[in-house]
Structure 1
Amino acid sequence: MSSLLVFGGNGFLGRRICQTAVEKGFQVTSLSRSGSPPRTANRWDKEWIDKVHWEKCDVLDPKSYTQYLKDADNVVHSIGILLEDSSYKAQINGKLSFDPKNLLKWGPNPMKNNPNFTYEVMNKKTALMLAEEFSKVQRADSARERTMSYISADRGFPGLPSGYIKSKREAEAGIMRHEQQFRPILVRPGFMFDELDASLKTLDVRSQLKHVLEMLNWGNDWLLGRRIDFINQLIRPTVSTQQVSRALLQKIESPDFKGVLTLEEIIKS
């Protein structure tokens, strides 16, 4: 049985990566700051959740997770931030009153008590540290292929600081330097929603943003025929966490694939 180690496995995308891997027969371990499984009210989620090993680590302290790398055939880095302000996660998930002005506000890191909550640390440094540690691990079965997958991004969004996509691309470049030690997979999804959550929630912020983006994509398809490249680059398709997870696991199981998994490829999978 092939093993999968997911950093951030209890997150919005990470939980679906864990679920898809369990359903495909992988032995799955999730590492996160809390070490706890995701909270869910869906009874259909509980079966796969019980099959995942939920463990605790500090992603900035390799000593807290090195032992898990020794037995990992495949590693996934599903940790990152969209804004350098942790309150946006609560807003976009509908836990706080949504204010678009606050969501797109940027500048000096407002989390003064947490200097690590930056693009440079969360999106880039954690990934490069993990890649470095994974490349050092000596395996008894050296003939068995290993992969490292990084959840990157399709591109930036209007109003989003350039540091976001810059940190993602720099992390990608650093990970690719280890392609002699493992097969790198760089996943570039766009705006993500969860198919199960979307069927249960219609008023949360993420669902509202999804509907707006899908309407814009519809207009680009049917009214403009996707003839204007600038608009095509600006208005990108939405994608579900389930689609991203399925596409990722397909590439992990495809020994000839390495490099960038584009949004278009994810949608076709």
Structure 2
Amino acid sequence: MKSLLVFGGNGFLGKRICQTAIEHGFKVTSLTRSGKPPRPMISSEKDWISEVNWRQCDVFDVNGYNEYLQDATNVVHSIGILLEDSSYKQKLKSNEPFKMSSPQWGNNPLKKDSKFTYEMMNKQSALKIAEELAKIPVAAEKRTFTYISADRGFPLVYSGYITSKREAEMGLMRLEEKLRPIIMRPGFMFDEVVAASKGGKDLRTAFKTVFDTFNFANRLILRNKLGFVNELIRPTVSTQQVSRAVIAKIEDPTFSGVCPLDEILDV
């Protein structure tokens, strides 16, 4: 059976990658800090959740996950942060107003976790896993390593976010002789199930509505003719669509390298 090991498998995107992989006949193991499965949003999600092997590990402790790498033919890194402040993830799950200027969203150097940085979470965690995977000899075709990168940076988000993503990409491509790197560059993501269940009132869907409105206006009024506007206003994409693209690229033995947002949307 095809196997898939997902780091961050109970996260916002990671759980959808696990779901799509199960639906495509993969044997799936998820490794996360808690080791717990995600809470089902609808009753039907209990079926695929029960089929995933949920396990706990510290992504920075090689000894904690090396045994899982041995038999993994495909590995996905779905760990990353948008801000160097862990509280923002809880805010995105709530219905509270999102105010980047508020002190609660800022970085408090006295409370900052040395591991919760762009350098560590977005870059070093991925490179360390990939380097360990590359050490394992393979008799048949190369193992795949899929990295969830990003299409662009986001307004009001520090430049270190996209810099760490691009540096991780370059490091992964240097392992191309031993692995088949797959680099996904989605834009702003929302979840179709969450959007439907909450009636579009959750924070991510609210952001999606704003971004989609700007994107529609760009197409209708400007006809996508201004390059700098096209660079700023990008389409949103669902976690389900990104997950389908991830599995499609894994199952395509001829693909390696970068899968841009436009290609993700076409899968």
Partner of 1:165, secondary structure, is helix
Paired amino acid for 1:259: G
Corresponding residue for 1:87? 87
1:186 aligns with 2:202: no
The alpha carbon displacement at 1:113 in A equals 5.1
1:24 aligns with 2:24: yes
Partners of 1:174 and 1:131 in 2: CA distance: 9
The alpha carbon displacement at 1:62 in A equals 0.6
Q: Is the 8 A contact 1:90 1:96 kept in 2?
A: no
Partner of 2:178, secondary structure, is coil
Paired amino acid for 1:145: K
Q: Which shifted more, 72-81 or 40-49?
A: 40-49
The alpha carbon displacement at 1:144 in A equals 3.5
What aligned pairs does 1:47-62 form with structure 2 within 5 A after superposition?
47-62=47-62
Corresponding residue for 2:73? 73
The alpha carbon displacement at 1:98 in A equals 3.2
The alpha carbon displacement at 1:205 in A equals 1.0
Partners of 2:12 and 2:236 in 1: CA distance: 15
The alpha carbon displacement at 1:17 in A equals 0.2
Task: Provide the alpha-carbon RMSD of the alignment.
Answer: 1.6
- In structure 1, the gaps of 5 or more residues are none
Would the alpha carbon gap of residues 105 and 87 (structure 1) be closer, same or farther in structure 2, given more than 3 Å must change? closer
Corresponding residue for 2:137? 138
Partner of 1:28, secondary structure, is strand
Partners of 2:170 and 2:70 in 1: CA distance: 24
Corresponding residue for 1:148? 145
Corresponding residue for 1:172? 169
Corresponding residue for 1:199? 196
Q: Which shifted more, 196-205 or 11-20?
A: 196-205
Would the alpha carbon gap of residues 237 and 29 (structure 1) be closer, same or farther in structure 2, given more than 3 Å must change? same
Paired amino acid for 1:44: S
* Percent sequence identity over aligned pairs: 57
Under a length normalisation based on structure 1, what TM-score does the superposition of the two structures give?
0.95
Partners of 2:95 and 2:35 in 1: CA distance: 22
The alpha carbon displacement at 1:265 in A equals 0.1
Q: Is the 8 A contact 2:195 2:201 kept in 1?
A: no
Count of residues in Structure 1 that have an aligned counterpart in Structure 2: 266
Partner of 1:50, secondary structure, is helix
Q: Is the 8 A contact 2:100 2:156 kept in 1?
A: no
- In structure 2, the gaps of 5 or more residues are none
The alpha carbon displacement at 1:96 in A equals 4.7
Partners of 1:105 and 1:90 in 2: CA distance: 11
Would the alpha carbon gap of residues 230 and 129 (structure 1) be closer, same or farther in structure 2, given more than 3 Å must change? same
Residues 228-269 of structure 1: CA deviation (Å, up to 9, x unaligned):
111100000000001000011101000110000000000011
Corresponding residue for 2:113? 114
1:13 aligns with 2:13: yes
Q: Which shifted more, 110-119 or 20-29?
A: 110-119
Under a length normalisation based on structure 2, what TM-score does the superposition of the two structures give?
0.96
The alpha carbon displacement at 1:95 in A equals 5.9
Residues 192-249 of structure 1: CA deviation (Å, up to 9, x unaligned):
0011111111222111101000101110011111011111000000000010000111
1:226 aligns with 2:217: no
Corresponding residue for 1:129? 128
Residues 119-176 of structure 1: CA deviation (Å, up to 9, x unaligned):
000000101101111111234xx11431000000001122211100000000000011
Partner of 1:83, secondary structure, is coil
Partners of 2:48 and 2:206 in 1: CA distance: 28
Paired amino acid for 1:239: V
Partner of 2:55, secondary structure, is strand
Q: Which shifted more, 89-98 or 254-263?
A: 89-98
Partners of 1:199 and 1:103 in 2: CA distance: 31
Corresponding residue for 1:208? 206
Would the alpha carbon gap of residues 26 and 184 (structure 1) be closer, same or farther in structure 2, given more than 3 Å must change? same
Would the alpha carbon gap of residues 103 and 167 (structure 1) be closer, same or farther in structure 2, given more than 3 Å must change? farther
Partners of 2:103 and 2:121 in 1: CA distance: 18
